[in-house]
Structure 1
């Protein structure tokens, strides 16, 4: 069977990581990652277009994932199965950080009576690794494993504040910010100024930049050596909780929780 011609991205990965790098595994994970809220059901051609791979390669990946139970199809459309959650479960079960943070956000949510979360930086996004909320639903669809662009989220800006200036500049040069709402900051200089400001004051407050009607405040969680390992936040409906109240009431609670959590981080 002839080898699949490597894309420029694949070639860069092989060059960077060497001959032990498994291209087949990487392509399979790219296929899984192609699915999302806007792409729950896709044809073979759809997946091939999203991952920028030949249809024959994608067909083999989907067939293998189907045999393993991670994908199902009606013969035309493909979708992920709940078994994919086992990948996240494995991470959560093997990572004491997640268990510690889950307990913390549950306590914070009960204290503030708002949705509270913890997230880490993953590439250009943040990923929720703990989440708790009151009985009313806020941010429908947001749960553990959910991803949000770092540039427009309070936890993202807190985590970006932990980067050195070289890495922060590389991030801002790399991304192409989109206005998710009329309030989203997309100007590079404005984003850099916001991240610097938030780094200095110890929290980030993002007002309706990721979702209209929703604002959130986040603080960094620093381990023993001062490095930011994750972020904590609390969010609320903009019509119900004013910005001033969020700073006055939410910030001290989140700051104190982060100070307690810090020594537990490794």
Structure 2
């Protein structure tokens, strides 16, 4: 990545970005010259340290493994980071091949089932303000981009206790998510199961996968402090 691109993405002055990059370079996290910079494998130590120290991951992983095995589908866990969701854990069923979002992958919160489940933790007024500030760009032809409709959809998801998104983040892919709560009821993450529309119908999402996710959420809640 060029210095100019890094400054553009961060919104910082070029001189500030250059100082930061040189500091990261001295720490061994970045290599490059004054024009091009790239990450080194050492950054993986930071990621692995986060995952190892995150209580959610350590508690959730074995339960997600059991959920994925019973569902025979990938089960993923995400947290909210600004206007995006970041996937921090993933469980794959015991079979030869399966697809799913990798750990560290980011997606817009507004058009994903995990994102809407996480956004639903906000009170209505705070949620409305957050949506008003968001950059809402269609990811597919069915993405909800009307902000009032989006607000109503997330409020409905809060009432229902789950979020189902059908082809809004990726064409031909649907997923269902539930909020993951800690012992006091606060939402700290969201778990989902998804699949391609030609293989998994909406009814199956609700009838087969939703109970599994609800069981997962209920089991883990008293364990998260």
Question: Which residue does 1:166 correspond to in 2?
Answer: 125
| Change beyond 3 A, Cα 1:204–1:44 | same
Would the aligned equivalents of 2:64 and 2:216 in 1 still touch at CA under 8 Å? Answer: no
Check if 1:46 corresponds to 2:5: yes
Question: Which residue does 1:181 correspond to in 2?
Answer: 140
CA distance in structure 1 between the aligned counterparts of 2:111 and 2:196, rounded to whole angstroms: 17
Bigger relative contact order, structure 1 or 2 (CA pairs below 8 A, ≥6 apart): 2
> Which one has the largest radius of gyration?
1
Stretches of structure 1 lacking an aligned partner (at least 5 in a row): 1-41
Give the count of matched residue pairs. Answer: 223
Would the aligned equivalents of 1:138 and 1:237 in 2 still touch at CA under 8 Å? Answer: no
Question: Which residue does 2:97 correspond to in 1?
Answer: 136
Report runs of 4+ in structure 1 exceeding 6 Å deviation.
Answer: none
TM-score (norm 2): 0.92
Aligned-pair CA distance for 1:45: 1.8
Please point out which of 203, 206, 210 is paired with 2:162. 203
Question: Which residue does 2:174 correspond to in 1?
Answer: 215
In the TM superposition, what whole-angstrom CA distance separates every residue of 1:53-110 from its partner, at most 9, and x where no partner exists? 3323222222221221211226643221222222222222222221111222222111
Check if 1:115 corresponds to 2:74: yes
Check if 1:91 corresponds to 2:53: no
CA distance in structure 2 between the aligned counterparts of 1:151 and 1:222, rounded to whole angstroms: 20
CA distance in structure 1 between the aligned counterparts of 2:9 and 2:80, rounded to whole angstroms: 23
Aligned-pair CA distance for 1:256: 1.0
Would the aligned equivalents of 1:229 and 1:265 in 2 still touch at CA under 8 Å? Answer: no
In the TM superposition, what whole-angstrom CA distance separates every residue of 1:215-242 from its partner, at most 9, and x where no partner exists? 1100112233222222111111111111
Question: Which residue does 1:231 correspond to in 2?
Answer: 190
Please point out which of 80, 89, 111 is paired with 1:152. 111
CA distance in structure 1 between the aligned counterparts of 2:5 and 2:183, rounded to whole angstroms: 46
Would the aligned equivalents of 1:128 and 1:145 in 2 still touch at CA under 8 Å? Answer: yes
| Change beyond 3 A, Cα 1:59–1:187 | same
Stretches of structure 2 lacking an aligned partner (at least 5 in a row): none
Cα-Cα RMSD: 1.7
Aligned-pair CA distance for 1:49: 2.3
CA distance in structure 2 between the aligned counterparts of 1:137 and 1:62, rounded to whole angstroms: 38
TM-score (norm 1): 0.78
Would the aligned equivalents of 2:73 and 2:98 in 1 still touch at CA under 8 Å? Answer: no
CA distance in structure 2 between the aligned counterparts of 1:98 and 1:86, rounded to whole angstroms: 16
Q: How does 1:21-40 map to 2 (within 5 A)?
A: none
